Amino acid sequence: MFSRAYKATVTLPPLLWVTVFLLVPYLLMFCYSFWSVSAAQTIVHSWNLDNYARLLRVEVYWQTLLRSMWIAARVTIFSLLLGYPLAYFLSFYAGKKKDLFYQLVIIPLWVSYLVRAYAWKTILGSDGVLNTLLQYVHLTRHPLEFLLYSPFAVVLTLTHIYTPFTILPIYTALEHIPRNLVEASHDLGATPAQTFWKIIFPLSIPGVVAGATFAFVLSLGDFLAPLLVGGPSGIMISNIVVSLFGAAFNWPLGAAISLALLVVVVSLLFLSERLEKKWSFS
Amino acid sequence: MEFLVTSASESQGTLPRSRWLSFHAAAVLSFLYFPIAVLVLYSFNAQGVGGFPPHHLTLDWYRILFADGAIWDSVLNSLQVALAAMAISLALGIPAALALDRAQFPGEALFRRLVLLPLILPGIITGLSLLMLFNVMGAKLSLMTIVLGHGTALISVATTEVFAGLQKLDRAQEEASLDLGANYWQTFWRITMPNLKLPIIGAALLIFTLSMDEIAVSFFLIGRDNTLPLEIWGRLRRGITPEINAVSTIIFLFSLVTIVVWYRLRVRAEGSADLGAN
C-alpha cells in the first residue's frame, strides 16, 4: 500500500540523523578510549590499551567503580522495597482511587531532578530542616554531621529520585495479570499469602526486573547528586570522568572509564531483557 | 520506557482493604512528597532554608527572584531550547514511527535500540559522546549544541508515543484516501496526522518538560549561555540561596500543570481509541 518513495522518505531522515548524532558519537567515545594525551595537551591518535591498563592498575578508579555499583545496588534494593508494595496496593487495593494514586506517583517522576536533589541538601544540612527539628524536640543536642556529605545522603537522595521509576513498571506488570487467575486461586482455597507468592509475584517479575534495571543503571551513572550531597566520601565513578574531562584534561582516560561504565550498563540491560523474556507469560 | 505509555485502570479487580499495605502506601507517598513540601514551605520562610519551625512567612524570596535578571535570561534560554528540541524530536520521531510501523529497512533492530539509548543510559555517556562529536567537528559549544543534544536524545519519546498511536490507527482510512486519488502527502496531512493528534500533543508536552529539566547532557554541551537548570546548578555550587526554593516552587507548579494536562490527554486518547474499537 505504501510506495518505495514513501518508505524512503520516512526512513532515511531519522536513520541518517540517528547515525550522525548517536551512532557516530558513541563510536567516537570508543575510539577516544584508545588514544592518549601528549605533554602539550593535544590528543595523540595512536592506538593502544594504556588507558585500560591504567583503569585496572590505579586503585582509585576501579575502587570507585565498585563503590558506585554498591551505592547503585543499595538504591535499587531500597527502591524496590518501597516501590513494590505501593505498586501492589495501587493495582489490587486502590479501588476507585486508582487514578488519583497513579497520578500521585507520576507527579514526583516529572518534578525536576535538580529540585529534588537540592531539597535533600536543605533537609540534611547541619543547620537544615531535619537537624534543627531534632534539636527543637530535644532528641539531639548537636547537629548530626553524618546526614549530609556522605554515601548515606547519596543513597537516600537517589532512592527518592528513582523509586517512581521502579513503581511504574511493576504496576504495569501487575495490571497485566489476568484477574481470573487470582480469583481461581482464591476459589481453590489458597490463602492470600499463597496467592501472592505463587501467582502474583512470579507474574510481576518482568516489571521488577525492568524497574530494578532503571534504578540501578540511572543511579550508577549519576554525578550531580554526589556533587550536591555526597561530599568526598560520596564520590562516584562519573565524578572522576567529569574531572578527567574538565580540569585534569585527559579525555582518552575519561572515555575509557565511561566505556567501562557503559559495558557494565549494557550487559545489565542485555541481562534484564533476557530475564524479562524468560519470566513473561504469553 | 514502556511505562510512559501505560495508564491507570486497565483491570478492575480490587481486593478488600489491607491495613498494612495502606499504611505502607501512605508512608512511601509521604517520603516522595516530603522534600517537595519542605521546598515549597521554606520558599516562604523569612529565615531562608534552615531552621525548624519555619516562621515569619514572607514573599521576599519571590521578590528577589523576580528582580534577578540572570535567572530570567536562563528561563528564556531554556524555553528556546525546549521548543527547538521539541521541533527536532517531532520532525524526526514521527517519520521514524511511520518507518517502524510500515517499512522494513536494514538495521531496523539496531535503530530501535539506538534511539532508546539516551533515555536508558546515564546522561553522562550521551553528553560526553556528543561533546566529542562537536569537538571533532570543530563546532563551538552554545545553546545550539544543547538543542541538538536534547532534540536527538528525545526522538524516542516522539517515536514511542506516535508508534503506539499508529498501532490503533485504522489503516482502511488511509487506503480509502489513496484509492480516491489523494497522494501520499495529502493523505499524510489530512488522514494520518489528524488521527495522531493526541499522541503528538502528548509527546510534545513530554519532550518540552524533559528538555526544560534536563541537566546531565546539557552539563557537557553548555557554551556561554546557561539554561535554567544549569543556572540553578551554578548557584547551588556556591551555596544554598533561598531564592532557589522560590524558583523550584514555580518549576514544581509548572510541571504539575503540564503533567495533569498530559495525563488528561492520555486518558482521552485511550478513551477515544476504546470507542473506536467497540
**Is the torsion defined by CA of A226, A229, A230, A231 positive or negative?**
positive
CA dihedral of B25, B37, B77, A16, whole degrees rounded to 10: -10
DSSP single-letter state for residue A36: E
When pLDDT is averaged across residues A154-167 and rounded to a whole number, the result is 94
B145 and B197 share one domain: yes
Do B163 and B31 fall within a single domain?
Answer: no
Q: Are residues B102 and B230 both part of a single domain?
A: yes
Task: Write down the pLDDT at residue B259.
Answer: 79
Q: How confident is the model at residue B277 (pLDDT cuts 50, 70, 90)?
A: very low
One domain for residues B160 and B215: yes
pLDDT of B50 reads 66
Residues B25 and B121 placed together within one structural domain of the fold: no
d(CA A163, CA A165): 5
Answer whether residue B13 is part of any domain: no
Is a pLDDT exceeding 70 seen at residue B194? yes
Q: Do B54 and B76 share a domain, yes or no?
A: no
CATH 1.10.3720.10 fits A54-279, yes or no: yes
**Rounded CA separation B203/B162 (Å):** 8
A170-227, pLDDT tens digit by residue? Answer: 999 999 999 999 999 989 989 888 999 999 999 999 999 999 999 999 999 999 999 9
Within-domain flag for B2: no
Indicate the helix (H) or strand (E) that contains A37: strand A36-37
Identify whether B14 is part of a domain: no
Same domain, B47 and B91: no
Closest Cα of chain A to B271: distance in Å?
14
Can you list the positions of beta strands (E) in A115-156? none
Whether residues B35 and B85 share a domain: the answer is: no
pLDDT band at A4 (very low <50, low <70, confident <90, very high): confident
Please state the three-class secondary structure of A176-208 as a single string: CCCHHHHHHHHHCCCCHHHHHHHHHHHHHHHHH
Q: How many CB atoms lie within 10 A of CB A141?
A: 7
DSSP-based three-state secondary structure for B5: helix
| A6 close to B (CB below 8 A) | yes
Distance, CA of A105 to CA of B263 (rounded, Å):
12
Query: Model's pTM, two decimal places?
Result: 0.88
Please give the residue range of the domain that contains residue B47. Answer: 19-58
**Residue A40 in contact with partner chain B when CB distance is under 8 A:** no
Which chain B residues have a beta carbon less than 8 Å from that of A101?
Answer: 8, 25, 29
Task: Give ipTM to 2 decimals.
Answer: 0.89
Give residue B12's pLDDT: 45
Residue of A nearest to B21 (CA): A89
Check: CB of residue B166 under 8 Å from CB of residue B198: no
Q: Are residues B51 and B152 in the same domain?
A: no
CATH number of the domain bearing residue B230: 1.10.3720.10
Taking CB atoms and an 8 Å limit, are B263 and A24 in contact across chains?
no
Query: Please, which contacts does A256-260 make with residues 24 or more away whose CB atoms are closer than 8 Å?
Result: A256/A33, A256/A51, A256/A52, A256/A54, A256/A55, A257/A55, A257/A61, A257/A65, A258/A29, A258/A33, A258/B124, A258/B125, A258/B128, A259/A29, A259/A30, A259/A33, A260/A52, A260/A55, A260/A65
| Interface contacts A/B by beta carbons within 8 Å | 284
- Examine the domain organization and report whether B211 and B268 are in the same domain: yes
pLDDT value of residue A281 = 65
Place of cell 517479575: A205
Reading phi first (left if > 0) and then psi (alpha if -120 to 50, else beta), residue B107 is in left
- In the prediction, which pLDDT does B2 show? 43
Average pLDDT, chain B: 85
What rounded mean pLDDT belongs to chain A? 89
Is the Cβ–Cβ distance between A22 and B152 less than 8 Å? yes
Give the whole-number percent of chain A exceeding pLDDT 90.
56
Average pLDDT in the B205-215 region?
Answer: 91
Q: Are residues B53 and B135 in the same domain?
A: no
State whether B243 and B126 are in the same domain.
yes
How high is the pLDDT of residue A138? 76
Residue B196 lies in a domain: yes
Is A278 or A217 the better-scoring residue by pLDDT?
A217
Smallest Cα–Cα separation from B252: which of A120, A119, A129, A226? Answer: A119
The tens digit of pLDDT for each residue in B221-254 reads 999 999 999 999 988 877 767 788 888 888 888 8
Phi, psi of B106 (to 5 degrees): -65, 140
> Are A17 and B92 an interchain contact pair (Cβ–Cβ within 8 Å)?
yes
Q: What's the total number of domains in chain B?
A: 2
Residue at B148 is within a domain: yes
